[in-house]
Chain A
């Protein structure tokens, strides 16, 4: 359990550092996805503390995982997809407008337009 948590934490940190430090906007979007994935995994890991089988009510299933985190994360993943799609669409528009994916260059080139 501890190793999984450390790995998840690392994934989260990689995502966060990409958002803050990377200048390429596509990498920033990837960073956001990584962070999201880390939290999703954390919830799923938490749900599996009390069991290991899929939460389907059927014969022979006794030790099932907590179904609530799974249901929640399904929603969170859907929202994550929407946010990624929208941010990528914005990235395309920014690239078309400025010819660059570097956030500093984009900011500079668009600064004159008011």
Chain B
């Protein structure tokens, strides 16, 4: 099969899988349904993975396909653009979604509709990665959003419905503003395809330019909302911590990064993107610090992980912003973008593994409170885990998240900090690195032996599919650490046609900075001691989290729009 047809496989195949499972649910009994779910897995996730494998040569040779679906005229049809970026985004999603689907087989959510919505979301992610048309981006983001709301609410707990509702109202309102932005750009440029917008926008002046820039701000901010960058982060904690573990892993690992990188195609083309990049770099830096500070004083295990996601996406957004500011067409800009995406991979693998292992552990212990949860290894052993695989995988994921060797996170974060070192916002990221260790040391307390008798939840079992999903993710984290050089070379090389740069390669090896890692650990140790003192606790009490209301969410949204618009126009 040629590249022209093969690249659409990640959209079509999951949709086919979803419809097969839905048909089986409507017409067949339990056994057939289960068989169709497995068939759906093979069609919707495994076959697209093979398609990507077959396409690796084409993307390495910088082949790209631009097509209009249904052979419509260019001005009317839906544009898709397949290149290295979309290839990597789809790969990122598949790498995480395959283990996550396996995990969900035993741990739930168990409704048949879960798989249907899951596969529709897979198709939406692929479509978002491929789209080169503003209105289609809107549709894809909405489909991704709607599936996310359903998945979050698929937990048996009613509080998940509230988290989903808050997320829905906030995000759907922002999407109305996105439409307004699309309206502005359509009115001025007369088109919705990225290239036509960019072409028309470069010749604008006066009031039209101001209106076009404002429209662009609405679009950028509404898209960034999905990535939960400060100050648009309020919705994430509820949604990601209340969702079922498998869904949290997928949402926190992958779904927050896809819109961010899908946006690059638009930012690449329009004028004034340097200023947007500058604002994003600072927003990313602040996001990382705010996220980790909130995580530090959180006592619920999954909420801590969700806050940490806000912090980690800050690293990605900061580097991404610096790439846009430098200009993706330059060698440095292309490298920064590559590293931002690579760090996205590091975070996706580690965070999803953390959500799965921590989720299982808190289920078995029957509490999410980090002040009470102890004795997890013994509890897991009671529930059928002879080798403490959950604990081992938790440690691997934590090492990766806190940038310790020999994991992919160690290599990724150090390269990122090295590359971004010229910009002031990187200092915020360095502070966050130390605080991340402090926050994760709190999570590790769950595995200490318990002095009290354990109240193990008898209904929880660590099944074989769950172990398989842990093992897959943990292996990827370790293999990523060992083969980091090659992965980085591949990634930067296939991303380089986005720019005219040659995809230059940095001569940096993270192990040469082991001393720095030791300093970070030392600082973290001091912070741990400090957080245990009474006066620091008193001082930081206002930071302990509370539920955010709609007014807070929209205040953040207005702040982001105001700041970005001010920066772009003056």
Interface of A with B (CB < 8 Å)?
16, 19-20, 25, 28-29, 32, 35-36, 39, 42-43, 46, 68-69, 72, 75-76, 79, 82-83, 86-87, 90-91, 93-94, 97-98, 103, 106-107, 110-111, 113-114
Distance A98 CA – B157 CA, assembled complex (angstroms): 12
With both beta carbons as reference points, the residue of chain A lying nearest to B134 in the complex is identified as A72
Name the interface residues of B145-169: CB closer than 8 Å to any CB of A: 146, 149-150, 153, 157-159, 161-162, 164-165, 168-169
Distance A78 CA – B508 CA, assembled complex (angstroms): 51
Can you name 7 A-B pairs with beta carbons within 8 Å?
A25-B165, A36-B176, A43-B179, A75-B135, A86-B149, A86-B168, A110-B158
Instruction: Name the residue among B135, B146, B161, B186 with the largest chain A CB count within 10 angstroms.
Output: B161
Q: Check A39 against B169 for contact (C-beta < 8 Å).
A: no
Distance A87 CA – B145 CA, assembled complex (angstroms): 12
Contact (A28, B186) CB under 8 Å given A98-B158, A111-B547: no
Distance A87 CA – B76 CA, assembled complex (angstroms): 32
Q: Check A113 against B550 for contact (C-beta < 8 Å).
A: no
With both beta carbons as reference points, the residue of chain A lying nearest to B553 in the complex is identified as A20
Q: Which residues of A contact B54 (CB under 8 A)?
A: none
Interface of B with A (CB < 8 Å)?
76, 135, 138-139, 142, 146, 149-150, 153, 157-159, 161-162, 164-165, 168-169, 172-173, 176, 179-180, 183, 186-187, 192, 300, 368, 547, 549-551, 554
Q: Check B149 against A75 for contact (C-beta < 8 Å).
A: no
Q: Check A32 against B173 for contact (C-beta < 8 Å).
A: yes
**Chain A contact residues: over half helix, strand or loop, or mixed?**
helix
Q: Check A19 against B169 for contact (C-beta < 8 Å).
A: yes
Q: Check B162 against A39 for contact (C-beta < 8 Å).
A: no
Q: Check A79 against B139 for contact (C-beta < 8 Å).
A: yes
Nearest first, the 4 A-B pairs at minimum CB distance are A97-B158, A110-B159, A90-B165, A93-B161
Contact of A72 among B135, B153, B168 (CB under 8 A): B135
Contact of A87 among B169, B176, B549 (CB under 8 A): B169
CB distance from B79 to the nearest CB of A (A): 14
CB distance from B562 to the nearest CB of A (A): 16
Q: Check B165 against A94 for contact (C-beta < 8 Å).
A: yes
Contact of B146 among A29, A82, A103 (CB under 8 A): A82
Distance A50 CA – B551 CA, assembled complex (angstroms): 40
Q: Which residues of A contact B551 (CB under 8 A)?
A: 20
Q: Check B176 against A69 for contact (C-beta < 8 Å).
A: no
Distance A90 CA – B162 CA, assembled complex (angstroms): 8
Known contacts A86-B150, A107-B547; 15 additional CB pairs below 8 A are A20-B550, A20-B554, A35-B176, A39-B179, A72-B192, A79-B142, A82-B142, A83-B168, A87-B172, A90-B153, A93-B153, A93-B158, A106-B162, A107-B549, A110-B158
Q: Check A19 against B173 for contact (C-beta < 8 Å).
A: yes
CB distance from B125 to the nearest CB of A (A): 17
CB distance from A4 to the nearest CB of B (A): 14
Q: Which residues of A contact B179 (CB under 8 A)?
A: 39, 43, 76
Q: Which residues of B contact A16 (CB under 8 A)?
A: 173
CB distance from B76 to the nearest CB of A (A): 7
CB distance from B190 to the nearest CB of A (A): 9
Q: Check B161 against A113 for contact (C-beta < 8 Å).
A: no
Distance A38 CA – B540 CA, assembled complex (angstroms): 44
Q: Check A94 against B554 for contact (C-beta < 8 Å).
A: no
Contact of B183 among A19, A42, A113 (CB under 8 A): A42
Q: Which residues of B contact A103 (CB under 8 A)?
A: 549-550
With both beta carbons as reference points, the residue of chain A lying nearest to B136 in the complex is identified as A75
Distance A28 CA – B183 CA, assembled complex (angstroms): 24
Q: Which residues of B contact A39 (CB under 8 A)?
A: 176, 179-180, 183
Q: Which residues of A contact B142 (CB under 8 A)?
A: 79, 82-83
With both beta carbons as reference points, the residue of chain B lying nearest to A79 in the complex is identified as B142
Q: Check B164 against A114 for contact (C-beta < 8 Å).
A: no
